[in-house]
Structures are given as C-alpha cells and as structure tokens.
Chain A
Amino acid sequence: MKICVLVKEVPDAAVEKRIDPSTGRLDRSGEKNLNPFDTHAIEAAMQLKEGGALAVDEVVAVTMGPSTATRALQKAVSLGADRSVHLSDDALAGSDVNGTGYALAKVLEAEAPDLVLLGQQSDDGECYTIGAVVADHLAMPSLTQVIKIDVEDGALRCERQAEYGYDTVMVELPAVISVGDAINEPRYPSLKAIMGAKKKPLDAKSAADVGIDPSRVGYDNARAHCTDFAAPPAKEPGQIIEDEDTNETVEKIVAWLDERKLLA
C-alpha cells in the first residue's frame, strides 16, 4: 500500500511576509521551511505505517514548487518518507487554488496512491482546501481537519470537529485526508535520518511528464486573480474610561456592549 504525503515549502515564520509590488503576489524570496502543518501529515503517515493495521510499503513525499522546494522534501524524508517527488515547472508559477489542485492531482495520479495525506493549511496562502480540490479530481472521498485516524477493516475511522461538534466518519480507501495539527505530536528527525536524507531517491517531474494541460495552470490561466492590495479600513481609536465610580463605569460598559448587540 502506498501513502503519498503532499508537502509544501513556505516562507519561514520569521521572514516578514509581504506582497511583491511588481508582481502582485506573495514575495516568496527569503528563507523557506517545510510547512509546519505538513509535519503532522508525515507523522500520521509514519504512525499508520508503524501501526501495522495497514500494510504500508512506502511513504512518498510529493511537492509542487520551485527548485528550492527540495529542502522541504529532504526534511520530509528525514522524518520518515522513503522517497520524494518534486513537480517543478515554470509553467506552474502563480497557479491559483484551482490550478494548483489540478496539477497536484495529476502528479498524484501518476503515483496511484492508496491514501493521500496533507496538512490542513499552509503558512502562506492561508487556504484550507487543497485536499478537497485534489480529491474531486482524483474521484476519491475526502475529509479535512481530521484529528484522529484509526484503521477499521481496511477503512479509516476519522474524527474531526465540524460546525455542530465532533463527527466520526468512516472513509473507504483510496482517500484524501487533510489533518489538523491536533492530530499528533510530530517526531523529531534523528541525526542519522537527517544525514541520510540526501541519499534517498528524489524524482523531478515537469508538467509535461505528468500530462498537465498548460491552459489550466500558471498565473495567466488562474480562474481568480488577487489584486488591489489595500490597508484594512482604519480602526477607530478606542475609548478609554478611567474607573472612579465603579458602578458608573460598569453601567457604561454594559451600555457599550448593548449598543453593539453583544448582550443578545
């Protein structure tokens, strides 16, 4: 059985994030790191492999990104993936959620996994949905924000917190599952694993290699464009009350709250 883990390199949390005024896109230069949410997905894959309930032959880290994304793959491998696949192509630059999900689905199709795991969101982009896009293309059942996975008769019993409380859902394989960060505590790579990561196989693939239709990817073909970056409307300066007569102060607070319908 094969598990593919989708990973992404994102600007390091310490790097100041800003929009590059010349391109209108997130400035992705500067230090990058493996998306912290993806470490939970890799850990989930490793726990399934080590748990033994599913006969997992290999865990494959898959990413779509520029040449620097190999670092994210190396980190994924040091955390336990057996090999990695790097989809990289200039034609993919600037793809939106729609295009990215399509491209990832194509590279996954080529791998034919039994389970696809990914982190529920990425530190940049601030989307929570790639899993659902990929799953529709792959025609696989999908859940996001899963915080517990158990294996039952070759299917996955998943828990997640939805609008009304905790849901338990049985999902047949093959499936696409996005995991929340509450699902596990990722392991630290051992020094041996870090040093050995460079030796694990890394397959580089171009868009053409996996049959991606160029008219569906890239910035110019994006189905939605982000433009006009503006500062949010300035917040009105707040009011300050110096408490002298507490009864009076409290009355003012209650009136303030009531005005804003916060006491419904």
Chain B
Amino acid sequence: MSAILVYALHYDGAFNKNSLGAVSEGAKLASELGTECHAIVVGEGVSDELASSLGNYGASKVYRVEGPEGLAQPVVDAMAAAIEAGGHSYALFGGGLLGFEIGAGLAARLDAGVCMEVTNVRVEDGKLVAERPILQDSQISSVHYRSKVGVIIGRLNAFEINETGGTATVEDLAVEFRPHSLKAKMVSRGEQRGADVNIEDADVLVAGGRGLGKKEGFDMLEELAGALGGAVAATRAVVDAGWYSYSAQIGQTGKTVAPKLYLAAGISGAIQHKVGMQASENIVAINKDSNAPIFEFSDLGIVGDLNKIVPKLTEAVKAKKS
C-alpha cells in the first residue's frame, strides 16, 4: 500500500494549524492502512528544524522543495514530482484557500478524483473513503476514488492535531517548475487589515440580536469576545437598526460561518439566521424567552437575562484563562 502525501503550509517559521491537523490525520490513516505518512513543504530556505518538526505529528518523511511561497501552482508541480517519484496513493490537504487551489490543480495534473470540504475520512477495504457534507450540511455523502491517486481536501478545522513525538527524515527534492507556475508573483503577503475582522475565519463568535435591547449592548459583547479570543457578529434585525455593521451580519442574507464556538446573545434563532450558523461546532444561546427557537438547536442554552449573565461570564472567562 503506497504512502499518503500531506501538504504542509508554513509562514514566518511556523506551520499552519490546519496543515498540522492534516499531517496528524494522514498519520492516523496511514497507520490504519499499514503504510507511511509523508509531508511536503515548499518554501524559500526552509530550515531542517522546521521541516523535521512534522515528525512530531506523525510524518515519517518530509520532502523539502525550494520554491515560491504562498502560491498554489508551484506546489502542484512539487507534489506531482513527489508522487511520481514516491508513488503515493493519496494527497491530503487541511482546509484553507491554498489547500483548495493546490488540490484541484493536482487533480487536473494527475487526472485524479478530488473531494473538498471533507469532514471525515474512513478506511474501507484497504482504501480511503472521504465523507463530506452537502446540501447545506443536511446530508453526508461518501466519496470513493476511481483513479490511481485520490485527492482529499479537508474542511477548515476538520482534522484534529495529534502530537506523536516521532521523528521525520528530510529529503530535498529538486523540482522543475512549469512556466505558468512562475507567472504569478507574490508582491506582498499576509497583510493585516485590522478594522475588518473576517468573521468567517474566527474560531469563536459572539453574536448579538434584538434581545440586547440597545446598540450599547454590543459593548459588552465585544468584551466577552475579547476574553474568548473571538469576534463579534450580528443578526439582520440589529444591523438594520444600525446597531452593528453589515460586515458582521450572519444569516440567509449575510455571511455563513462555522466556528468552533458560536455564542448567541438575545437572538431568537429564526431560520433566516439559523442557516448562517447551524454548522457551528458548539452553539451556546442566552435568551430570556424559554420558547425561543434557538433553544431547539443550541448545545447549551441559558434562559435568563443576558445583561446579568454576559458581564459575569466575561469576568469568569478572564479569570479562568489567567
């Protein structure tokens, strides 16, 4: 059984969380299949230390390729070369923009089957079967590969990080990049634009609705979000009322999010809002109306006055974290 090759994205001397999750997942699946998990890193002057650290997440070998950073197409060339040399059966990616771009390009290059937004991978008859949610997460479909190589692209935060304490050998791989792969050049990378926090990427969201009573209610939500290390979101009703900005609106006519924690304060949970956040991993709701529909799909519901609960919760969270 041939090995699994996992792409690992790095920036500024550290690996991306989703990539580490993918390596851990690759290692787990490789061991079930009775094969190895390899990783591949593409960058400029990647240190031995950095590359071999992937051994701690279960990779037995790390291919290191000297090439442009932050762009997908050179990585397609690199992975195609590695797979040609190493005969891997699966290419695995953690969630994120580059994972999509590289995985798709690789599927084209290798004439391979590809599945994206994968939330789970299982072993069946010595092969990997990817599972992905479809139709707004209302169903899970299983994807079977019918090609020499299978490309698996995970959903954001789908794969859990697992440190195994192992080691990896680093193998330098020389890759000749296709001309088109070098026609996109990075001018500046990773610019932070403070004001617009992208709520779609936040791990924690604290969302406010009409139940806050007034615009100033968002002040206390911002404090709670700060304490939890997250961002603030809002329902359509309060955005309409001018209490918060449209860029934070969640729902049918706003953004769709799936953070690890969605804390909804003063939100009734009408379906127009629900469709924007129902895939959140953990939903906590605070509302004074015990009949609010949100309590039908929250994981933890608190019936009570948010003006009393939220400030105390913020204090308690800060205390716990320190």
Contacts and interface: CB of A to CB of B under 8 A. Distances in A.
A–B direct touch in complex (beta carbons closer than 8 A) = yes
Interface of A: 17-19, 96-98, 101-102, 126-137, 139-145, 157, 160-172, 175, 216, 222-232, 235-236, 238-243, 246-247, 249-251, 253-254, 256-258, 260, 262-263
A232 B137 contact: yes
A98 B108 contact: yes
Contacts of A224: 113-115, 143-147, 150
A208 B146 CA distance: 24
A141 B180 contact: yes
A240 B116 CA distance: 35
Given A129-B104, A226-B141, A240 B147 contact: no
A98 B191 CA distance: 33
Question: In the complex, which range does the number of interface residues on chain B fall in?
Answer: 35 or more
A18 B301 CA distance: 31
A168 B185 CA distance: 9
B293 to A, nearest CB: 12
Given A135-B105, A169-B185, A239-B301, 13 more contacts: A19-B135, A131-B104, A136-B109, A142-B101, A163-B18, A163-B96, A167-B70, A168-B187, A169-B186, A240-B295, A243-B304, A250-B309, A258-B320
B108 A143 contact: no
A140 B105 CA distance: 11
Interface of B: 9, 11-12, 16, 18, 70-73, 76, 96-98, 100-105, 107-109, 111-117, 133-147, 150, 178-181, 183-193, 198, 204, 228, 260-261, 282-284, 290, 295, 297-305, 308-309, 312-313, 315-317, 320-321
B141 A163 contact: no
Contacts of B315: 250
Contacts of A242: 290, 302-304
A230 B139 contact: yes
B141 A229 contact: yes
18 contacts: A98-B113, A127-B116, A129-B114, A135-B105, A136-B73, A139-B178, A142-B101, A163-B16, A163-B96, A165-B190, A168-B189, A172-B183, A228-B142, A232-B140, A235-B299, A239-B300, A241-B301, A254-B316
6 shortest interchain CB distances as A-B pairs = A243-B304, A224-B113, A129-B104, A223-B113, A164-B190, A132-B104
Contacts of B321: 263
A223 B178 contact: no
A235 B205 CA distance: 20
A17 to B, nearest CB: 5
Interface of A, secondary structure class, is mixed
Contact of A171 (B72, B183, B198): B183
A250 B290 CA distance: 18
A144 B116 CA distance: 15
Given A97-B114, A128-B100, A226-B142, A241 B184 contact: no
A131 B108 CA distance: 11
Contact of B188 (A19, A127, A168, A216): A168
Contacts of B300: 238-239, 241, 253, 256
A92 to B, nearest CB: 17
B207 to A, nearest CB: 15
A102 B309 contact: no
Contacts of A97: 104, 107, 114
From A132, A157, A163, A228, name the one whose CB has the most chain B CB atoms within 10 angstroms: A163
Nearest to B94: A163
B113 A240 contact: no
Nearest to B279: A232
B249 to A, nearest CB: 13
A170 B100 CA distance: 20
B111 to A, nearest CB: 7
A223 B115 CA distance: 10
A142 B184 contact: yes
A141 B70 contact: no
A241 to B, nearest CB: 5
A143 B184 CA distance: 8
Contacts of A157: 187
Contact of B143 (A129, A161, A225, A246): A225
